[in-house]
Amino acid sequence: MPDTTALKSTDASATAVDAPPATDTGPAPGKPRSLWSDAWHDLRRNPLFIVSMVLILLLAVMSIFPGLFTSASPREANLAEHYLQHPNWGHFFAPDWLGYDGQGRSIYARLVYGARASITVGVVVTLAVTITGLIIGMLAGYFGGWIDTILSRITDVFFGVPFIVGAMVILTSFEKRSVWVVILSLAFLGWTSIARVARGSVITIKQSDYVVAAKALGASTTRILTRHILPNAIAPVIVVATIALGGYIAAEATLSFLGIGLAEPTVSWGIDVSAAKDQLRNAPYVLVIPSVMVSITVLSFLMFGDAVRNALDPKMR
């Protein structure tokens, strides 16, 4: 009789030799990231975004809690003792650290408290123009026809008005120019770019299959705009808004420098730059320090906007 044990052993060896090796398919692919999670994945690895966020957070804390940075009053003046006193670079964060201005007020204290006016103007104007421009752009792009024609022509009229010149005309009609007056004047003219971007984005998105399917299923116009179009059209609007925020801060400083923006007793970097232009020869630091602060703030928001644009735009990635 044949040895069945040997035959089984031989067959098993041949099977082990002839069988193709198992392929390692690797881990099962995970859930694909959305646009926002993919953008955040890129942003947190972008040094430009990290640096800008650190500066913006520092400015935000400074504007909300100025008492954490200095105990001096920005309006306390001692002309006899502190008139154009030079900076004392060894006394970090002390009232005399950055010197005193022509009225004997601490430049460092005014630098800290001046962040509130500039940041407030920039953030509130950006929110106002984003909401206004988004609503107008979405209505024009979604409905089209005569609604698009009327809203587009209104946008063109406002777009044709020079931004700074128009704000100057509006502000000169007010005797008392508070922070809210400046905000309203800038927001009244600044929504046109966002409206155009939103309109173009909505025109493209409303032709998508999921929007057509929502219409076929009988979804209301409000639901289609808020649940289907808005989440997909808001990315380019956010990019434009973040970049424009720095421009609004610069516009407020420019108007205050010209004497038609914020006025005393409001503490503002633009007011300090305007008051210091006469001391440029004797004490240039009085002019340079608030000017550098405005430049750093505007640059921070511009870098933040560039980083967000690169993360949200697939073509940039």
Chain segment 139-162, per-residue pLDDT in tens? 999 998 899 999 999 999 998 888
Q: Do 255 and 172 touch, CB atoms closer than 8 A?
A: no
Residue with tokens 């032709």, as numbered in its chain: 207
The domains of the chain are located at: 115-312
Beta bridge partners of 106: 100
Q: Do 126 and 245 touch, CB atoms closer than 8 A?
A: yes
Class of domain 115-312: mainly alpha
Q: Do 76 and 105 touch, CB atoms closer than 8 A?
A: yes
216, exposed or middle or buried, with CB in 10 Å at 0-12, 13-18, 19+? exposed
Percent of all residues in the chain with a pLDDT value above 70, rounded to a whole number: 87
186: pLDDT strictly greater than 90? yes
Mean pLDDT of the chain: 83
SS3 53: helix
**Model pTM score:** 0.82
Ramachandran category for residue 290: left, alpha or beta (phi over 0 → left; psi -120 to 50 → alpha): alpha
**Stretch 301-309: mean pLDDT, rounded?**
87
Give the per-residue pLDDT at 36.
Answer: 67
CB within 8 A of 145, min separation 6: which ones? none
